[in-house]
Amino acid sequence: MIKYIDELREDELKDKKVLLRTDFDVPFVNGRIQEDFRIKAQKETIDYLIGLGAKVVMVAHISAIDSFEELVPQLRIILGREFGFIKKLEQLGQLEQLGQLILLDNIRQDSREEKNNEGFAQELSEGFDIYVNNAFAVSHRNHASVSAVTKKLPAYGGLLIKKEIAGLSRAIDCPAEGKILVLGGAKISTKMPVIANFFDKAEKILVGGAIANNFFKVLGIDVGSSLVDNNVSVNIKSEKVILPEDILIADKKTNEMEDGASSLKNVKEGYFIADIGPKSVQKFCEIIKGAKMVIWNGPMGYAEIEKFSHATHMIAKAVADSEAESIVGGGDTVALVRELNIMDKFSYVSTGGGAMLEFLTGNKLPGLEVLGYYN
């Protein structure tokens, strides 16, 4: 059984040294953080621990750049707190002089992190009283700061982990009647298992984005230069799977679209499927309108390019405007709903991308397993 930090009394946290696995893996362009949703999601747990007198060291990774150093001023503003910053693990021995809240530099600078090295976990945990995992989005990774460290310290789930488990469990456990799964995006291998798991857990599964290309190929449609994962098999026998009826096709070199949308047809080499068409959008939106629950992950096309974003925008607004309970997640999806300023219209927005999909697949997430969630 997983234990959460809100089960701890003040006397169990006051002056305790807490190693907190946070999630600051955000896009970073031209010196600016592009999306701060994951960072803000850490604030509740940080405030809770500091409010009860704990001394907290935040451990995180970032993929876009090597070091957090130039992000520190922005992170302080987003979190609404001053904090110390240390670049080396050895500096953890100076905690008493560094203040109540500290950020350790990008944990993946050490190759032992991704190897789940127990020696590294031992070095990381030295001098701490408690470990807290509040990084749901990395909990599908068997890394030292997620898994091995739990063997060294009493381990707890943070408040975000608690919310994620509750929100995503509803997506799985609610009755299939009226439940609609909407999947798009490009990570085909991670989404096909979700589709398989929801055959008997959803009323309909709406498929768009690059993952639809695998289905088209099974139907005998040549998808040209569209993204396809030839290592992934698909099942189109289920009547629950709803594919696009029409598509937008564009030139791979210029991104220039063919005139108008077309019914499903063979795509010439050098061209690709850029978005689903208006008939498909209308059909998908009508299905969403009548739903009781909608779970959505991934854009319907190349939504990062404005002229290919129409379908995804329409789906986003349909989910936001529906009376259904709505659960959404994935980096591209979250960025889009933030851009449309409709974040508050969804019942639950997950910080997880791959972790959300792994959870919805029904697989055990290593970071949750070591906390005792599956016991």
- Average confidence (pLDDT) over 254-271: 87
Residue 92 has pLDDT above 80, yes or no: no
Instruction: With a cut of 90, say whether residue 235 has pLDDT above it.
Output: no
CB 340 within 8 A of CB 313: yes
- pLDDT surpassing 70 at residue 236: no
pLDDT at 212 > cutoff 70:
yes
Mean pLDDT of 104-115: 96
Query: Are the folds of 5-160 and 167-361 the same?
Result: yes
For the chain, the domains span: 5-160, 167-361
Q: Which CATH architecture has domain 5-160?
A: 3-Layer(aba) Sandwich (3.40)
What residue has token string 């409709």?
A: 342
pLDDT of residue 319 exceeding 90: yes
**With contact defined as beta carbons under 8 Å apart, do 57 and 104 qualify?**
yes
Domain 167-361 = CATH 1.10.8.10: no
Average pLDDT over residues 351-372: 95
Q: Can you give 285-316 as a three-state secondary structure string?
A: HHHHHCCCEEEEECCCCCCCCHHHCHHHHHHH
Mean pLDDT, range 18-42, rounded to an integer: 93
Which has more pLDDT, 292 or 262?
Answer: 292
What tens digit of pLDDT does each residue of 174-191 get? Answer: 999 999 999 999 888 889
The pTM for the full model equals 0.92
Tell me the percentage of the chain whose pLDDT exceeds 70: 98
pLDDT at 262 over 80: yes
Whether the predicted pLDDT of 94 surpasses 80: no
Residue 251 has pLDDT above 70, yes or no: yes
Alpha-carbon distance 365 to 168, whole Å?
13
Average pLDDT estimate for 184-202: 90
- Which ranges of the chain would DSSP assign to H, the alpha helix? 10-13, 37-40, 43-51, 72-79, 118-125, 159-173, 188-197, 211-218, 278-289, 310-321, 331-339, 354-361, 366-369
**Is residue 96's pLDDT more than 90?**
no
Q: Label residue 226 by pLDDT band (50, 70, 90).
A: very high
**d(C-alpha 287, C-alpha 321), whole Å:** 13
pLDDT of residue 157: 98
Contact in structure between 207 and 194 (CB atoms under 8 Å): no
pLDDT at 279 over 70: yes
- The pLDDT assigned to 90 comes to 80
Average pLDDT of the residues in 218-239: 83
pLDDT of residue 95: 67
pLDDT mean across residues, the chain: 93
